[in-house]
């Protein structure tokens, strides 16, 4: 069904950014471009490293394509340390596949203020980091998020988490299925743990037999149950669809792809993949509650699993210790991220920042409207639908995008 004019207007600015990123997706590889920028600015590896407070080898590795800045914040700091102006920094971010500075985002607002209020690399980076430090030290308005925060199973109840015996039987069954696919994709137990974490506490075997598994999980596991081989592209698309259905950001989608030993979502090879990546990044900047709710779900599920005592805990199996260690490390990371995500979500609901356009966005693409469960995949799907309607992509590329949205 064609996208309505109302939604087209709502997405117009985003589409402009995404079209720009699509045209420039070949530049998402920073290596050559960083060398050119540093030469233009007269900044050597050691000087950029000193300004950023990182080892010289980090900058050298970026320039030679051996490593990549870890997130949008680090790209912003590169731009600040190279004395870019606001327009130049925005172009740099877009050419690297990230949204430009967004004034409603607290950290972006601090960056804009630093750009306008400081002169020189030393002053601007110090001013920005001081502002970020104050923001991180503030108490996030977590209670301002509207609607209940529930685990992925609808309830954050420790008693619903599977027993050790149930889990071990399920894991052994599907680990064998993964092993039979070793010649194609070589997935591992970490991938199984990560994907099944979102199922909550119901017995997985029963859910599979009765068809109660969520569609994204069922489409991932069905071929394995039947002994059918997966090809890397097929599995990669299914894992991306799974991530989008859970409101993951690109770094979290990359995690599950890495566990499956597949090409990362943040490494697009076609214009349509670049458009998908930019759409996901833009959505998370525009509506930070996506990440906050995802992290709340994760925190509730991990907390329930880690709180529940294992049967025969005096003599834990090696696989059980390994699994609990995996979940414990993940819980620590989620806890660190949750505070910042809560701060950004609280600021989103602060008086004077949220306007009619934001509420219209919520109506179509979030659960806040009260009109059923809507999420990140709905937004990305509409972006791809408009680009397809307008002839931005060949039909084959559109088909690939729809597979990654779970629509194929």
- DSSP string for 16-31: HHHHHHHHTGGGGS-H
Quick one: residue 248, left, alpha or beta (phi over 0 = left, psi -120 to 50 = alpha)? beta
Structure confidence at residue 118 (pLDDT): 79
Q: Which class for 46: exposed (0-12), middle (13-18), buried (19 or more C-beta within 10 A)?
A: exposed
- Asked whether the beta carbons of 276 and 377 are under 8 A apart, the reply is no
Ranges of the chain with pLDDT below 70: 1, 24-29, 138-233, 308-319, 351, 369-372, 408
Q: How many CB atoms lie within 10 A of CB 352?
A: 5
- The secondary structure of residue 214, as a DSSP letter, is -
**Neighbouring residues of 2: CB distance < 8 A, sequence distance ≥ 6:** 389
Distance from first CA to last CA of the chain, Å, rounded?
Answer: 16
Q: How many beta carbons lie within 10 A of that of residue 331, not counting itself?
A: 17
Query: Quick one: pLDDT at residue 168?
Result: 55
pLDDT for residue 194: 67
Residue 320 CA to residue 316 CA, distance in Å, equals 6
CB-based burial label for 408 (10 Å; 0-12, 13-18, 19+): middle
Which pLDDT belongs to residue 395?
76
CATH 1.10.260 residue ranges for the chain: 31-138
pTM to 2 decimals?
0.80
| Cβ atoms 22, 392 nearer than 8 A | yes
CA–CA separation, 37 and 203 (whole Å): 55
Question: Residue 216's pLDDT is what?
Answer: 52
CA 3 to chain centre: 25
Dmax over Cα atoms in the chain, in whole Å? 65
Which pLDDT value is given to residue 9? Answer: 94
Check residue 83 and give left, alpha or beta (phi > 0: left; psi -120 to 50: alpha): left
pLDDT at 205: 46
Q: Residue 254 has what pLDDT?
A: 92
CATH topology of domain 31-138: 434 Repressor (Amino-terminal Domain) (1.10.260)
Asked if 148 and 193 count as a contact pair (C-beta separation under 8 A), the reply is no
Summarize pLDDT for 129-158 with one digit per residue, the tens: 888 888 877 544 443 444 333 333 333 333
pLDDT for position 86: 93
- Which pLDDT score, from 0 to 100, does residue 258 have? 82
């Amino acid at each position: 069904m064609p996208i309505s004019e109302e939604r087209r207007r709502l997405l117009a600015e985003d589409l402009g950014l995404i079209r720009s990123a699509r045209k420039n997706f070949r530049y998402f590889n920073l290596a050559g471009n960083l060398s050119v920028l540093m030469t233009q600015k007269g900044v050597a590896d050691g000087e950029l490293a000193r300004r950023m407070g990182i080892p010289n080898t980090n900058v050298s590795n970026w320039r030679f394509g051996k490593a990549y800045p870890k997130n949008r914040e680090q790209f912003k700091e590169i731009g600040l340390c190279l004395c870019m102006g606001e327009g130049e920094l925005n172009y740099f971010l877009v050419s690297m596949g990230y949204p430009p500075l967004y004034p409603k985002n607290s950290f972006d607002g601090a960056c804009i203020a630093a750009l306008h209020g400081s002169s020189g690399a030393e002053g601007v980076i110090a001013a920005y980091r001081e502002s970020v430090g104050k923001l991180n030290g503030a108490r996030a308005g977590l209670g301002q998020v509207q609607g209940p925060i529930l685990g992925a199973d609808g309830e954050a109840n420790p008693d619903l988490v599977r027993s050790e015996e149930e889990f071990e039987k399920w894991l052994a069954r599907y680990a064998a299925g993964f092993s039979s696919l070793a010649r194609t994709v070589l997935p591992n137990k970490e991938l199984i743990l990560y994907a099944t974490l979102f199922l909550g506490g119901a017995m997985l075997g029963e859910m599979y037999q009765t068809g109660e598994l969520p569609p994204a999980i069922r489409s991932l596991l069905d071929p394995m149950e039947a002994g059918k081989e997966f090809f890397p592209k097929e599995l990669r698309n299914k894992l991306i669809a799974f991530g989008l259905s859970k409101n993951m950001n690109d770094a979290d989608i990359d995690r599950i792809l890495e566990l499956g030993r597949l090409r990362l979502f943040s490494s697009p090879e076609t214009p349509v993949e670049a458009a998908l990546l930019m759409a996901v990044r833009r959505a998370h900047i525009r509506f930070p509650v996506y990440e906050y709710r995802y992290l709340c779900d994760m925190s509730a599920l991990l907390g329930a699993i880690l709180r529940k005592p294992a049967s025969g805990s005096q003599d834990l199996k090696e696989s059980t210790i390994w699994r609990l260690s995996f979940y414990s490390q993940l819980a620590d990371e989620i806890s660190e991220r949750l505070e910042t995500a809560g701060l950004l979500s609280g600021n989103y609901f602060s008086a004077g920042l949220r306007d009619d356009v934001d509420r219209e966005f919520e109506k179509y693409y979030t659960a806040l409207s009260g009109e059923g469960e809507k999420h990140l995949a709905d937004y990305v799907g509409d972006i791809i639908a408009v680009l397809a309607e307008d002839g931005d992509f060949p039909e084959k590329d559109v088909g690939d995008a729809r597979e990654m949205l779970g629509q194929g």
